[in-house]
Amino acid sequence: MRTFARPALAGLGLALVAGTAACGSEAGPAAVEQKAPASPYKATMLPAAYKIPDVRLTDGDGKPYDLAERAKGKISLLFFGYTHCPDICPTTMADAAGAMSLLTPAERAKVQVVFVTADPARDTPKALKAFLGKFNPSFVGLTGPMKTIQRAAADAKVSITPPPAHAKGNYPVSHGSNVMTYGPDGGGRLLFPYQFGSGDMAKDLKTLIAKAAPISVTGAQIRVPSSPDVTGGYLTVSNAGPADTLTGVTSPAAKTVEMHRMVMNGGSMKMEQMKAAPVPASGTVAFAKGGMHLMFMKPGNLKVGQTVPVTLRFAKAGEMRVNAKVVPAGA
């Protein structure tokens, strides 16, 4: 008989999250309850000391995938399951896909869903990619040696039981029913139990995204091009968290976007390209006239009053998308 463990969400500081699910498994160990602090989330909060597993597996394209490294700067939803699962796995992936659809494009850019198979014998990279593509093609499917997968599950406090050796046919696999969620620093944030629902998941993710983003960007502007080759852009980056680095900027409004600064050279000012811009802890960086600024190379046909998306990439905070207002050339 299929069973799964769902921790109570009221009065629960943290439950042992090794509840198992799927098609012939037994219930996990009894939950250890502690008094919960006030929480802005409906889901169960996880200790930040819980870390996303530091393992290297294989993704749906057959390429190596360093889970901890690829999680940096992202909110990561981690689930262990298998593609032949008739109930828990498709339901959970459908909930996750529904939640993603309720986020804005900028919010979705900050979230990744990772599905690690508990059945590597049947779940090839191709099978994982096909299965997850039915829900959301951005979902990442991972496979690899069973011992590595078991270590990842143990690190995530999720219970899985390997299929019997040389199992054949449509055999069941015991696996966790919870979605473990980690912040951009790889630390634990939330536990979404089975059948949590897309709407509530999206609400909690929106709250988590807002709390996890120490970086904010204001005053984004792009000048109407006075030349077909280049135009300037300006904005202010504010950082309420630890030191970070702006590593790149892109926009569909131009072929490329470069960061530049003005420096003294022999008594005159010279423009110099920057590969990165440090963002100090609890500090502000202004891209403004006469100082650091953005150069939109080969810009499109921009008109005053139009807004265009601009994506900033930070080493720690990840990608942030803002809308820049097009202003007159002399503004």
pLDDT at res. 13: 38
Look at residue 114 and tell me whether its pLDDT is greater than 50: yes
What are the distances in angstroms from CA 259 to CA 19, 23, 207, 275, 328? 49, 55, 31, 7, 21
Say how far residue 35 (Cα) sits from the centre of its chain: 29
The runs of H, that is alpha helices, within 171-294 are 198-212
Helix pair angle (88-101, 198-212), 10° resolution:
60
Which pLDDT belongs to residue 14?
43
The reply to whether 156 and 36 lie within a common domain is yes
Is 23 annotated to bind a ligand? Reply is no
Domain shared by 221 and 191, yes or no: no
Distance CA 124, CA 148 (A): 15
User: Are 274 and 248 contacting, i.e. CB atoms less than 8 angstroms apart?
Assistant: no
- Are 192 and 288 contained in the same domain? no
Tell me: pLDDT of 11 over 70.
Answer: no
Between CA 124 and CA 117 the distance in angstroms is 9
Pull the structure tokens for residue 275.
């590969």
Residues 185 and 77 in one domain: yes
CA 122/CA 168 separation, integer angstroms:
10
Give the residue numbers spanning the domain of 64.
20-212
User: How far apart, in whole angstroms, are the C-alpha atoms of residue 42 and residue 30?
Assistant: 21
Q: Based on the number of CB atoms within 10 Å of its own CB, is 90 exposed (0-12), middle (13-18) or buried (19 or more)?
A: middle
Q: How many domains does the chain have?
A: 2
Assess whether pLDDT exceeds 80 at residue 272: yes
Q: Which of 212, 235, 258 is the last residue of a domain?
A: 212
What rounded mean pLDDT belongs to the chain?
87
How many Å apart are CA 26 and CA 110, to the nearest integer? 35
Q: Are residues 206 and 258 in the same domain?
A: no
Reply yes or no on whether the pLDDT at 9 is more than 50.
no
Tell which phi-psi region holds residue 62, choosing left (phi > 0), alpha (psi between -120 and 50) or beta.
left
Last residue of a domain, one of 148, 178, 212: 212
pLDDT at 163 over 70: yes
Query: d(Cα 113, Cα 70) in Å, to the nearest integer?
Result: 12
Please tell me the predicted confidence (pLDDT) of residue 201.
98
The reply to whether 195 and 266 lie within a common domain is no
pTM of the model: 0.62
For 35-73, what is each residue's pLDDT tens digit? 545 789 999 999 988 999 999 999 999 999 999 999 988
- For the cut 50, the answer to whether the pLDDT of residue 76 exceeds it is yes
Give the per-residue pLDDT at 37: 54
Same structural domain for residues 172 and 264? Answer: no
**Does the pLDDT value for residue 32 go beyond 50?**
no
One DSSP character per residue, 81-121 reads E-TT-SSHHHHHHHHHHHHHHTS-HHHHTTEEEEEEES-TT
